[in-house]
Homo-oligomer: A and B are copies of this chain.
Amino acid sequence: MEFIKHYTKIIEDQIDDLNFPKEPENLYDPLRYFMKLGGKRMRPILTLLSAELFGLDKSKVLNSALAVEVFHNFSLIHDDIMDEAPLRRNQQTVHTKWNVNNAILSGDVLFVKAYELLAAQELGDLRRTLQLFNQTAIEVCEGQQMDMDFESRSDVTIEEYTEMIRLKTSVLLGCALELGAIAANASKEDCQHIYDFGLNVGIAFQIQDDILDLYADPDKFGKQVGGDVMSNKKTMLYLEAQRHATAEQLETLKQLYNWTNLDEKVAKTRQLFDQIGAKAICEASMDTYYTKAKEAIAKISVSEDRKKVLLQLGDYLLIRQH
């Protein structure tokens, strides 16, 4: 997927051009810092690819694409406060490098910046653009709230968990793609299909993320393998294991919850999950969502040839790295 580097570069250049004001520096320095922490910039790239899918040059949707990336970064800054996360991409989070107040207020300004970019997007119906973006932003907040609420609950269902990841992470992929389609004046049906593609790829991707946390190759994985297990996070893997466990296995799972030796906890949990077959169940679920995604893109009324890039990207994102 060499072309991704080229698209990432386009987005990085746009980020360089954001030109935050010099002052108040406690407001804008955190944004200059955080927006440059890197990443693949996958969400704005989706906007560019969607515009191209519908025959519009990517140069015409740079503002919408950047709005998505800026919004994503706003939500990361605020989420990092709420999750008390010290690091993001191995660098200090904003509330750690500055303080909580700076992180709240810088985040707020960045949020407005996203709307400035939307208002600067010239092609496509502005009201529809705004409605889609607003709905997505609200859903992302709802997903974050559900995620926080789950921490203190022991009765989270697979359905609730799926709804949480749909809201917290997947709708933004759908939104990123649909913004490109709206700018290209795609039909309402096609807008819905490309949105559904992103939404389902997003859910599949999040499930994969849950699997990788425990099953990734430690040499290739960017973070500590087993982190979710150590922090007792109720991931899809955990919930499926819980659901399919025998009474005896459930008892072991409960014991492991309070295990103090973390390395042992991770090893034993993986052993238990393997016995239950939780990984295979999650992979099947992943496949189901990815199939839905491919069904959605199949319905789009453009030539199959044009769809190849997005399908390749889907394969790339959802390749079995585990």
A residues in contact (CB < 8 Å) with B: 24, 26-27, 78, 81-82, 100-101, 104-105, 108-109, 111-113, 115-116, 118-119, 126-127, 130-131, 133-134, 137-138, 141-142, 144-146, 148-149
User: Are the CB atoms of B26 and A145 closer together than 8 Å?
Assistant: yes
Q: Please determine whether A149 and B82 come into contact, CB atoms closer than 8 angstroms.
A: no
Chain B hits for A104, CB < 8 A: 78, 81-82, 104
Q: Do A115 and B134 touch (CB < 8 A)?
A: yes
In the assembly, what is the distance between CA of A126 and CA of B119, in Å? Answer: 9
B residues near A116, Cβ cutoff 8 Å: 131, 134, 138
> DSSP majority for the A interface?
helix
Q: Which chain B positions have C-beta within 8 A of A134?
A: 112, 115-116, 119
| Complex partner residue of A138 from B109, B119, B146, CB under 8 angstroms | B109
17 contacts across the A-B interface (CB closer than 8 A)? A24-B142, A27-B145, A82-B101, A82-B105, A101-B148, A108-B111, A108-B137, A108-B141, A111-B111, A112-B134, A112-B138, A112-B141, A115-B137, A116-B131, A116-B138, A126-B126, A126-B127
CB-CB under 8 A from A119, the residues of chain B are 127, 130-131, 134
Beyond the given A27-B141, A109-B138, A116-B138, please list 14 additional residue pairs across the A-B interface where CB-CB is below 8 A.
A24-B146, A82-B105, A101-B148, A105-B141, A108-B141, A112-B137, A112-B138, A115-B130, A118-B130, A119-B127, A119-B130, A119-B134, A126-B126, A126-B127
